[in-house]
Amino acid sequence: MQFPSQILSRSESETEKIAKEFSLFVNEGMVIVLIGELGTGKTFFTKKLLHYFNINTANSPTFAIVNEYNGLKKIFHFDFYRINKPEELIDIGIEDYFSDSDAVCIIEWGNLFPELLPKVRVEIEIKFISENERLFEFRKL
């Protein structure tokens, strides 16, 4: 996989293949930001990605803000959707999560608080094309 790149998915099985390919590039200390409107598949993609790290119990942390998983990698999975102000993330110690060099941080809706995100990160924007099609845009910052 090259960065930047665009990959069109025409089905859930193709999205799973994209997650598998991307999993080969995921390293400890990485921050991954998922961007996309409701229903584009951010959580679905995350669940499929985590499957490749032997984590099969992932669910959306919408109400918990962050879920921690331990498989082949330690994963912090965030959802910023219901966060109202940056102070809520500062209060949970967001900087400590980002500075854990043994973990991977995956953030859904991270674009809602870009001022809190590390400058070095991978962004995956998922765009709705049609009922069964999504365009994945991968970029490194």
Helices 42-51, 12-23: inter-axial angle, 10-degree rounding: 50
Cβ partners under 8 Å of residue 119, min gap 6: 141
Could you list the residue range(s) of the whole structural domain that residue 86 is in? Answer: 5-140
Q: How confident is the model at residue 53 (pLDDT cuts 50, 70, 90)?
A: very high
* Model confidence pTM above 0.85: yes
Beta strands (DSSP E) in 15-132 are 31-35, 66-70, 74-79, 103-108, 122-130
CATH number for the domain harbouring residue 56 = 3.40.50.300
62-97 pLDDT tens trace: 667 899 999 999 999 999 999 999 999 999 999 999
User: Is residue 38 classed as helix, strand or coil in its secondary structure?
Assistant: coil
Q: Residue 135 corresponds to which tokens in the numbers above?
A: 């365009």
Number of domains in the chain: 1
95-140 pLDDT tens trace: 999 999 999 999 999 999 999 999 999 999 999 999 999 999 999 9
What is the strand order of the sheet 74-79 is part of?
A: 5-9, 133-140, 122-130, 31-35, 103-108, 74-79, 66-70
How far apart CA 139 and CA 17 sit, in angstroms, is 18
